[in-house]
Chains A and B, each alone.
Chain A
């Protein structure tokens, strides 16, 4: 599949440039083949099962059995098909020249650090790096190693540790103690972040050792002050910008009448949800985030006016902190649908927690806090501290100018953190499933 998509996109791009009169038809064919493969492998069973269910609701339709394709989903398919599609569109738009070196192009599609879970690189930033003579200055190598270590730390020490609590609670949400469900909801927000951004940091660190820069995929997402900022500027940026450039803007973006604008937004979020997984939970998760954006747009003028009346409050750190906390809770709430095995299970989590809200303080008082839970909370606090420092000034920029003893201490902290607290051999990366 990887070879087929590479060849189709490689030849497609050359054909687009070779036959300008047929460029649009060639582009369409290329996209259909690339995305067709993704649909065949990932969505056919979901679509046929959904259709069967809907047809079953029509009394006259009788029992319907649609065909299924029991194909093994190739690892990283969602990521490299999107890279391939973006390349074809960029060649068509004239933003990038078609790559004539098949080896370079194949490396763009399948560069091993990023193949399983991104970032979804753009050809215009990736391909020019391949032709260059690479130097390996020690500082750059060190930066790559630090990045790799930090990513591994986030995955093995934080994400996989939190995953134990999350899996236990989401495994049987109807029977899990309510406090465990609350803990799981909070922990999952950090688990998925550390899991996914950990992979990205490792990929970026490894690529740097080969002299290649991959794009930054995460920028301290839980410090976002709105859902718009979270999705537009901080979370899974390579996917967010992909949807912006290749779906949202071609649909008209925000430069259309407001009903269409709102529709465009919701469509992008729903499809982005579906990209993550062939299931209704992912669609609901995407739509919920779309709803947050709608609410922000509807209330934007109100907040603007309030800011005008209370100019001091607009930039107050307290208000900023409240907005960060509120945004985090909205995002964490949406993650319930992302993590739960079904909508019914997600609903069980929500109703059980909501039904015990007033009793939660007492429940938390009576809760038995094991050392693993305490360690998990300490690690989350450590993560947030690092993120807060990073927000003001890039952490590597801080570290690299420090004396050797401090830089080494930081490296040893990560290495020994991994050795002492790492949860080894437990779980694959969450985003590898997509």
Chain B
């Protein structure tokens, strides 16, 4: 039996009903994906903020992938035990100043911290890829639970041109969660599976890694812009009376030698901060090659060694004045 051909208006009405039913169904899928986030999320930084304990933290750790091992396995709780501090690690792989600022603002809108530790890498000032464009990587949004406060923050960032408009669009529609192929897998970065490995150094691999992180041509304008943003981040924290501590973590000597303009960029980054921002260059502290699970990330022994050698002491030192009993 042939159907009657539809007239224009009927077709539009039916189209509208089709879209409305589709949106309803999408709502169901969105809700199911959201519930999976709460079941499997673990390391996602937006999830960590939304589900952070209400008591104030002593340290928020920001940075890129070099800061991640401080949160692998049970490392964070061990650092907390060793220092007596409450720590939340919000570093994200490949995250430059913009994504770190976003997650920090989100955190400070909900919780408090006594200090921020920024694990610094020079590549973060060299490209939009690690800043405005970084959050377009849907992997970072796979387990980000929906929160109107975060949605508003992302929209305001997009309106100011600080992030790609796709980021709030992805976040609000929940597409990265709906389309997450790893929806039933534990929420861990692939690097965490290598945490106990010892890497056999390869200069070729190190060179490839550096080529991946740094653009072929470093643009002065771009660098100056991000250095300015780093200064703004410091001012933002100072205005909230949150001290900033800057740390550079160890990397193997052969890897460090390949980094373009490393000392100069570090010097320029630190020069725009106030004189009272403590800076600890631990690049060469325990940077023996056996302490890395790949070209430049600390393995479990490397982290343990770093903690024993300096980091625990640094964290204790900056914790001490504020925890001293009040009054005589």
Within 8 Å of chain B (Cβ to Cβ): is A210? no
8 contacts between A and B (CB under 8 A): A138-B6, A138-B10, A400-B3, A401-B3, A411-B18, A412-B22, A416-B25, A423-B181
Known: A408-B21, A412-B22. A419 touches B179 (CB 8 A): yes
A138 with B1: CB separation less than 8 A: no
The 9 closest A-B pairs by CB, nearest first: A138-B6, A138-B11, A137-B5, A419-B178, A420-B178, A412-B25, A419-B179, A139-B5, A422-B179
A424 with B179: CB separation less than 8 A: yes
Within 8 Å of chain B (Cβ to Cβ): is A372? yes
Within 8 Å of chain B (Cβ to Cβ): is A371? yes
Known: A138-B5, A424-B179. A408 touches B25 (CB 8 A): no
Q: Which residues of B contact A (CB under 8 A)?
A: 1, 3, 5-6, 10-11, 14, 18, 21-22, 25-26, 29, 175, 178-179, 181, 184
Chain A min CB distance to B170 (Å): 11
State A411–B179 Cα separation when bound (angstroms): 18
Chain B residues with CB under 8 Å of A412's CB are 21-22, 25
Chain A min CB distance to B201 (Å): 22
State A416–B10 Cα separation when bound (angstroms): 25
State A372–B181 Cα separation when bound (angstroms): 8
Q: Which residues of A contact B (CB under 8 A)?
A: 137-139, 141, 371-372, 400-401, 404, 408, 411-412, 415-416, 419-424
Chain A residues with CB under 8 Å of B29's CB are 416, 419-420
Q: A139-B3, A421-B181 are in contact. List 7 more A-B contacts (CB 8 A).
A: A137-B5, A137-B6, A139-B5, A401-B3, A408-B18, A416-B25, A421-B179
Chain A residues with CB under 8 Å of B6's CB are 137-139
Known: A137-B6, A138-B11. A371 touches B184 (CB 8 A): yes
Chain B residues with CB under 8 Å of A408's CB are 18, 21
Chain A min CB distance to B186 (Å): 13
State A422–B1 Cα separation when bound (angstroms): 35
State A411–B14 Cα separation when bound (angstroms): 14
A420 with B179: CB separation less than 8 A: yes
Chain A residues with CB under 8 Å of B1's CB are 401
State A419–B26 Cα separation when bound (angstroms): 9
State A88–B10 Cα separation when bound (angstroms): 46
State A400–B5 Cα separation when bound (angstroms): 12
Tell me the nearest residue of chain B to A135, going by C-beta: B5
State A226–B169 Cα separation when bound (angstroms): 50
Chain B residues with CB under 8 Å of A139's CB are 3, 5-6
State A424–B181 Cα separation when bound (angstroms): 11
Chain B min CB distance to A341 (Å): 21
Tell me the nearest residue of chain A to B28, going by C-beta: A416
Chain A residues with CB under 8 Å of B179's CB are 419-422, 424
State A424–B29 Cα separation when bound (angstroms): 18
Chain B residues with CB under 8 Å of A404's CB are 14
Chain A min CB distance to B233 (Å): 31
Chain B residues with CB under 8 Å of A415's CB are 22
Tell me the nearest residue of chain B to A423, going by C-beta: B181
Chain B residues with CB under 8 Å of A372's CB are 181
Chain A min CB distance to B325 (Å): 55
State A334–B10 Cα separation when bound (angstroms): 51
Tell me the nearest residue of chain A to B21, going by C-beta: A408
State A408–B14 Cα separation when bound (angstroms): 11
State A411–B21 Cα separation when bound (angstroms): 12
Chain B residues with CB under 8 Å of A416's CB are 25-26, 29
State A271–B184 Cα separation when bound (angstroms): 48
Chain A residues with CB under 8 Å of B25's CB are 412, 416
State A409–B1 Cα separation when bound (angstroms): 20
State A412–B22 Cα separation when bound (angstroms): 7
State A408–B15 Cα separation when bound (angstroms): 11
Chain A residues with CB under 8 Å of B10's CB are 138
Tell me the nearest residue of chain B to A405, going by C-beta: B21
User: Which of B14, B21, B179, B184 has the most chain A CB within a 10 Å cutoff?
Assistant: B179
Chain A min CB distance to B157 (Å): 22
Chain B residues with CB under 8 Å of A371's CB are 184
State A369–B201 Cα separation when bound (angstroms): 33
State A404–B181 Cα separation when bound (angstroms): 31
State A415–B22 Cα separation when bound (angstroms): 9
